[in-house]
């Protein structure tokens, strides 16, 4: 029998106790690295899975961030394009409005340039009356108007006949072509003065009356 058989089963040498404790510690460590409680997964696999999962999360976050950034960039570009388009449209509208104003001013200027200037004398009054008569379709010539004016008033726009039958009846003939007030009112031409002594209004109303009664002032050679 060996010498330590007498020591009994419960008394191991110190060296054996240390060896058994070391083996137990190593086994526990191996178990901890090998199996996770309740999962059956190895510690090494779990440890490897954690960094992989973290990397996937980081990658997903990076992708989302890049997507949001791209969306912002796209939105900014669209806003810039829209702003440029609006600015261009506003500039075009402004240019068109200014062009219309210039055209209107030019047209007004041309119209003013074309508008005749009449002398404030018998010649000018007759010529202005003829232009109005032409625009209203009233016949008559310069010669016919001038001839009758000289016979009726000698060219005095303030002339009044105080002795003929009209004067006796209380409605004397007045003006260049010696028109009575009722006739002037009835044959007044729109656009002229309502003053019977106004030379142009008097001539035009008388020419309108003569056109109605005689076909034209040209056909009148005496009192009418």
Residue from 191, 189, 170, 190 nearest 181 by CA = 170
Residue the block writes with tokens 């900014």 = 76
User: Taking Cα atoms as reference points, which of 212, 214, 188 lies closest to residue 202?
Assistant: 188
Report the candidate in 179, 41, 203 with the shortest Cα–Cα distance to residue 130. Answer: 203
Q: What is the pLDDT of residues 127-136, one digit of tens each?
A: 999 999 999 9
What's the token pair of residue 39?
Answer: 């999962």
Nearest to 205 by CA among 186, 218, 224: 186
Instruction: State how far the Cα of 207 lies from the Cα of 79, in Å rounded to an integer.
Output: 71
Q: Are 175 and 159 in contact (CB under 8 A)?
A: yes
What confidence tens digit (pLDDT) does each residue in 184-203 have?
Answer: 999 999 999 999 999 999 99
CA 192 to chain centre: 40
Q: Distance between CA 107 and CA 179 in Å, rounded?
A: 39
The model's pLDDT over 202-219, given as tens digits with 9 standing for 90+, comes to 999 999 999 999 999 999
Query: Chain-centre distance of CA 35, in angstroms?
Result: 79
Any idea what the Cα angle at residue 203 is, between residues 200 and 207, rounded to 5°? 135
Half-sphere exposure of 200 (CA within 13 A, CB side): 18
Task: Return phi, psi of residue 179, to 5°.
Answer: -105, 140
pTM of the model: 0.53
**Most confident among 10-14, 79-83, 123-127 (mean pLDDT):** 123-127
Q: What percentage of the chain reaches a pLDDT higher than 90?
A: 50
| Continuous H helices in 115-198 | 122-136, 142-153, 165-168, 181-187
What 3-state class would DSSP assign to 160?
strand
In angstroms, the CA 202 to CA 194 distance is 9
Rounded to an integer, what distance in angstroms lies between the CA atom of residue 101 and that of residue 109? 12
Average pLDDT over residues 7-16: 44
Tokens encoding 26: 């190593």
Whether 64 shows a pLDDT value over 60: the answer reads: yes
């Amino acid at each position: 029998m060996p010498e330590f058989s007498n020591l009994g089963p419960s008394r191991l040498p110190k060296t054996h106790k240390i060896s058994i404790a070391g083996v137990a510690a190593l086994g526990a460590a191996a178990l901890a690295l090998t199996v996770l409680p309740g999962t059956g997964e190895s510690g090494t696999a779990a440890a490897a899975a954690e960094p992989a999962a973290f990397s996937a999360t980081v990658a997903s976050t990076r992708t989302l961030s890049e997507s949001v950034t791209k969306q912002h960039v796209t939105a900014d570009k669209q806003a810039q394009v829209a702003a440029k388009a609006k600015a261009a449209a506003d500039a075009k509208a402004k240019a068109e409005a200014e062009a219309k104003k210039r055209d209107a001013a030019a047209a007004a200027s041309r119209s003013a340039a074309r508008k005749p200037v009449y002398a404030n004398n018998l010649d000018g009054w007759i010529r202005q009356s003829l232009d109005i008569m032409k625009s209203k379709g009233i016949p008559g010539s310069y010669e016919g108007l001038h001839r009758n004016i000289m016979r009726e008033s000698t060219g005095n726009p303030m002339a009044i006949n105080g002795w003929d039958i009209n004067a006796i009846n209380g409605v004397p003939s007045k003006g260049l072509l010696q028109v009575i007030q009722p006739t002037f009112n009835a044959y007044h031409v729109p656009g002229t003065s309502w003053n019977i002594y106004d030379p142009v209004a008097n001539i035009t109303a008388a020419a309108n009356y003569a056109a109605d009664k005689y076909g034209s002032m040209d056909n009148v050679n005496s009192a009418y």
